[in-house]
């Protein structure tokens, strides 16, 4: 088999191999193949996700199976089915949105294949086949254990279908159909935009669309874990159910299980029609798009002179120092022009919003009603600020044009300190605007004088978090190579879970201090002292260490650097 694969075969097979091997390569990664370690770590981490829920689900269904009526059992079954359907749709939709730039052949593909005797339809057919293979592999990886385990644990005397084998098939069919609908709907959506919008407008719009889709799918994934029977009952109202695709495939799930309810049957018909419509529209858009897509790539998105002029003018007025101004302009224009960098930042924002909404849902029973508004603002500030800092730090580590960083290296000695001050200005200005200035009028309206106290407290807390998050920062943003698999995925997961456990505690302390003058003074003094100490330590060594322009794996043996 290996010998056969090393040989050259028909154009279709070679094109398919070309797209599969480079499917996850991106301009955000400095060299091909660097994503392999990160992907292996991610799949190994998420592969056993469902067994974590097996024991709680088994106990829940054993309890409801012992009740005298079937209603409660079937309501929780519908809620859990809707949860798994929504989760699969969000996961496949997220993968599709992340690979938004790869749903159609890209500029590099045309540069590599344009001189070969290949027809455009061969390239597009191979690209679509590669997409289907990757999506199918991801779906099997994520959905195999739930398809085998959920029908077994969600069993009882009130289940609709007594056959375990049939329930496994029904679960795999309904969740798989929902996931493929999400994939084909996004492909069709991009195809419609590609054929409707002028090339330059498409180049500008598509980056923001991708970022919104990534954020939306992350929100969908996180909020799917909050689906309860009461949520399902509310969503199944006819006016809502007609507009929510996960409900359509819940109807398909129930209809395949033997539910003869008229609402479920109507939703099942809608799910089938929507799936076939999405497949058809995606295929049609592929058939008619290849000439249009090549034209779009040649013309490119472009940015007008007005955009370049006003960006430099505004920052020139805000930052008189020329070196600091140059670094700030470079960071701002990179975010304006790079849709992939914006996608990363919007993805972190979407994840923060999802966790915020999930926390607000669970907060209603734990906070006094009179403090609910203040609790919402405090929790929102803490959650969104944390993800903004984490997102910006990750974003700054991803290069834009790595080969051009020689310009910064030859002038680093003169501008190193001012560049780092520009990073401080950029992050703190963005954070103060998004976190404090924009929501303050609403906060003042709802909280009164406490809004000012909360803003001062959060300002010092935000400065402390910034100094902590960027304490070891030693790069100019977008200029250093990036190794996505440098830190093992399980370590990142542990840090993320630890952060999620810590943030509610911090929010509770800040909320308590708002309603206790003594606690407010103590907390504010402690935060201010910690911030000043970290700030002085961090600024003391600024300008002495060279900036990093190439990220390398951690050495197996660390030297003592006695000769330095």
Contacts of residues 49-52 at CB distance under 8 Å and 24 or more positions apart, as own/partner, are: 49/142, 49/145, 50/145, 50/146, 50/149, 50/150, 51/145, 51/149
pLDDT at 419: 87
The gap from C-alpha 527 to its chain's centroid, in whole angstroms, comes to 31
Check if the beta carbon of residue 28 is closer than 8 Å to that of residue 400. no
Burial level of 69, CB count in 10 A (0-12/13-18/19+)? exposed
Structure tokens at 213: 């889709």
- State residue 562's pLDDT score: 45
pLDDT at residue 173 is higher than 80: yes
**How would you classify residue 481: left for phi > 0, otherwise alpha for psi between -120 and 50, otherwise beta?**
beta
pLDDT tens digits for range 269-321? 999 999 999 999 988 887 776 656 555 554 444 444 444 555 666 776 778 88
CB 212 within 8 A of CB 346: yes
Confidence of residue 124 (pLDDT cuts 50, 70, 90): confident
Single pTM value for the model: 0.82
Q: Which residues contact 295 (CB under 8 A, 6 or more apart)?
A: 199
Q: Are 462 and 435 in contact (CB under 8 A)?
A: yes
Higher pLDDT, 42 or 508: 508
Q: pLDDT band for 251, please (50, 70, 90 cuts).
A: very high
CA atoms of 480 and 482, how far apart (whole Å): 6
pLDDT at 126: 79
> Which residue is it, tokens 């992340």?
98
DSSP state, residue 403: G
How does residue 417 score in pLDDT terms, banded at 50, 70 and 90? confident
Location of structure tokens 């200029």 = 479
Indicate the range of 12-26, 193-207, 403-417, 482-496 predicted with least confidence.
12-26
Q: What is the pLDDT of residue 304?
A: 47
Instruction: Over range 235-244, report the average pLDDT.
Output: 88
pLDDT higher than threshold 70 for residue 499: yes
pLDDT at 369 over 60: yes
| More confident of the two residues 331 and 560 | 331
Inform me whether the pLDDT recorded for 17 exceeds 90.
no
pLDDT(531) > 60: yes
Per-residue pLDDT reduced to its tens digit, 27-76: 555 555 555 555 565 666 666 677 888 888 989 998 898 888 888 998 99
Distance CA 43, CA 13 (A): 26
State residue 90's pLDDT score. 94
Q: Which long-range contacts (CB under 8 A, 24 or more apart) does 433-439 make?
A: 434/384, 434/388, 435/381, 435/384, 435/385, 435/388, 435/462, 439/377, 439/380
Concatenated DSSP letters of 63-131: HHHTSSSSHHHHHHHHHHHHHHHHHHHHHHHHHHHHTGGGSS--HHHHHHHTTSS--HHHHHHHHHHHH
| 287's tokens | 């058939």
**Contact (CB, 8 A) for 127 and 104:** yes
Nearest to 386 by CA among 489, 507, 477: 507
Mean pLDDT of all residues in the chain? Answer: 82
Task: Look at residue 361 in the predicted model and tell me its pLDDT.
Answer: 80
DSSP state of 405: G
What's the token pair of residue 378?
């405090």
Residue 437, both tokens: 């200035």
Under 8 Å between Cβ of 479 and 411: no
- Say how far residue 307 (Cα) sits from the centre of its chain: 28
pLDDT mean over 231-245: 89
User: In whole angstroms, what is the distance from residue 49 CA to residue 41 CA?
Assistant: 13
pLDDT tens digits, residue range 445-490?
988 888 999 999 999 999 999 998 888 888 888 888 877 766 777 6
Measure the CA dihedral 195/201/207/212, to 10°: -80
């Amino acid at each position: 088999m290996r010998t056969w694969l090393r040989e050259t075969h028909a154009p279709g097979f070679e094109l398919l191999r070309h797209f599969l091997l480079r499917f996850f390569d991106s301009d955000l990664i400095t060299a091909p193949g660097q994503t392999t370690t990160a992907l292996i770590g991610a799949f190994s981490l998420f592969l056993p996700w469902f067994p974590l829920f097996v024991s709680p689900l088994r106990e829940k269904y054993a309890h409801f199976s012992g009740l005298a009526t079937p209603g409660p059992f079937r309501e929780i079954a519908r809620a859990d089915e809707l949860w798994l359907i929504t989760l699969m749709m969000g996961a496949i939709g997220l993968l599709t949105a992340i690979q938004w730039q790869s749903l159609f052949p890209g500029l590099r593909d045309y540069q590599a294949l344009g001189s070969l005797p290949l027809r455009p339809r061969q390239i597009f057919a191979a690209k679509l086949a590669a997409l289907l293979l990757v999506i199918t592999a991801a779906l099997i990886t994520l959905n195999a254990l739930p398809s085998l385990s959920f029908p077994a644990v969600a069993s009882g005397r009130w289940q609709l279908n007594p056959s375990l084998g049939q329930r496994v098939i029904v679960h795999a069919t309904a969740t798989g159909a929902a996931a493929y609908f999400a994939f084909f709907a996004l492909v069709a959506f991009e195809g419609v935009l590609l054929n409707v919008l002028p090339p330059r407008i498409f180049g500008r719009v598509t980056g923001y669309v991708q970022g919104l889709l990534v954020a939306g799918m992350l929100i969908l994934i996180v909020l799917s874990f909050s689906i309860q029977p009461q949520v399902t009952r509310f969503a199944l109202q006819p006016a809502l159910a007609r507009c929510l695709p996960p409900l359509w495939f819940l109807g398909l799930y129930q209809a395949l299980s033997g539910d003869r309810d008229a609402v479920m049957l109507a939703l099942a018909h809608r799910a089938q029609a929507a799936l076939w419509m999405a497949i058809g529209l995606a295929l049609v858009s592929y058939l008619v798009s290849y000439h249009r897509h090549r034209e779009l790539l040649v013309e490119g998105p472009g940015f007008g002179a007005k955009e370049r002029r006003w960006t430099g003018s505004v920052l020139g007025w805000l930052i008189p120092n020329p070196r600091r101004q140059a670094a700030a302009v470079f960071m701002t224009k990179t975010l304006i022009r790079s849709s992939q960098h914006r996608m990363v930042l919007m993805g972190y924002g979407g994840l923060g919003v999802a966790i915020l909404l999930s926390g607000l849902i669970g907060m209603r029973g734990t906070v006094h009603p009179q403090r609910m508004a203040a609790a919402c603002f405090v929790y929102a500030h803490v959650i969104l600020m944390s993800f903004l800092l984490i997102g910006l730090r990750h974003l700054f580590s991803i290069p834009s044009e790595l080969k051009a960083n020689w310009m910064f290296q030859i002038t680093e000695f003169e501008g190193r300190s001012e560049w780092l001050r520009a990073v401080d200005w950029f992050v703190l200005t963005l954070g103060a605007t998004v976190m404090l200035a924009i929501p303050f009028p609403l906060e003042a309206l709802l909280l009164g004088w406490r809004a000012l106290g909360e803003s001062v407290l959060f300002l010092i807390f935000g400065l402390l978090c910034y100094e902590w998050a960027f304490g070891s920062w030693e790069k100019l943003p977008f200029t250093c190579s990036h190794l996505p698999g440098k830190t093992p995925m399980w370590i990142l997961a542990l840090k993320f879970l630890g952060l999620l456990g810590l943030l509610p505690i911090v929010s509770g302390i800040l909320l308590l201090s708002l309603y206790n003058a003594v606690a407010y003074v103590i907390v504010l003094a402690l935060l201010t002292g910690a911030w000043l100490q970290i700030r002085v330590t961090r600024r003391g060594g600024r300008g002495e260490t060279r900036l990093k322009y190439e990220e390398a794996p951690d050495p197996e043996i660390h030297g003592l650097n006695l000769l330095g």
